[in-house]
Structures are given as structure tokens and as C-alpha cells.
Amino acid sequence: MLLALPIFAITTFAIRRTEIRETGRARRSLYWVWRLLRDTMPGWLLIASWLLFAGFLVVGGDPGPPVQELGAETYAAQIDGRWTAISKSEYLPMKAQNQRIHLSVPGGFCVFTAVLSTALLRREAQQREAVRSDS
């Protein structure tokens, strides 16, 4: 999250600045962002990025039931509202699920930010080409 959030904030600021420069005002709508993506990115890349974003969210998914360590290789998990003693072999998949959620959220932010920043860079390149061709 320490890497994903600052990059996401910078990209959001750049999108807002580009929107104001192109339209003259900030509309505060996602329609402009959607148009930016649609106009600058190929369709296959948008579909692939949304599938990757959704994949990160699905993999992270549910953090699982709360688990507490009781002693030597014995754990307690809250399953269906009741605390149940479980072994270490049952605990390890739950622990892995809890670790995946910590990676899936920043991964999803990074995919979203990469797509938006690529669209912004392509828009800037298109504008530079338009200026060069007019000159």
C-alpha cells in the first residue's frame, strides 16, 4: 500500500489537471475518464486490464474466519459463529488467505493506476503529435 497509494494519488491529480486543461473545468464525473480510456487505449488492453484487476480482487476475496493461536500447533477458528479447535494443517490455508488479501488490494490499485497513467501518457503523445502536425 505504501507504493500503490502515492502513485494512485499522483495519477488522480494528473487526470484532474488534464481534464481541466482540456475541458476548461473539472466535471467531477467518471464519464471523462471513461472517454479518456476509450479514446486512447486499445480495446483488448482495456479488457485484459479489467480482467487482471478483477482477478486481484477475486484472489484476495474474503479474509476468512478469525483465528487465534491456543498453543503448540493448536488453533481456534470462529466458524459459523462458534469457536472450533483446528489443527495446524487446517490453519495454514486460512493464514495464506489472510496474507493474499494484503497483496490483492495494492495489486488492484497498481493495475488501475497503470492503466490510467498509460492513457494519460498516450493522450499527451497525441496532443504533441497534433501540435507538431499543425506547425
CB 121, CB 20: distance < 8 Å: no
Q: What is the pLDDT of residues 121-135, one digit of tens each?
A: 888 888 888 888 886
Distance of CA 64 to the CA centre of its chain: 21
Model pTM score = 0.61
Q: Which three cell numbers stand for residue 92?
A: 495454514
CB 130, CB 51: distance < 8 Å: no
Number of residues that this document lists for the chain: 135
Domain ranges of the chain: 1-40, 41-62+90-134
Q: Is the dihedral of CA 103, 53, 116, 14 positive or negative?
A: negative
Q: What is the pLDDT of residues 7-65, one digit of tens each?
A: 778 887 787 777 777 777 766 667 777 778 888 888 888 888 888 888 877 777 666 67
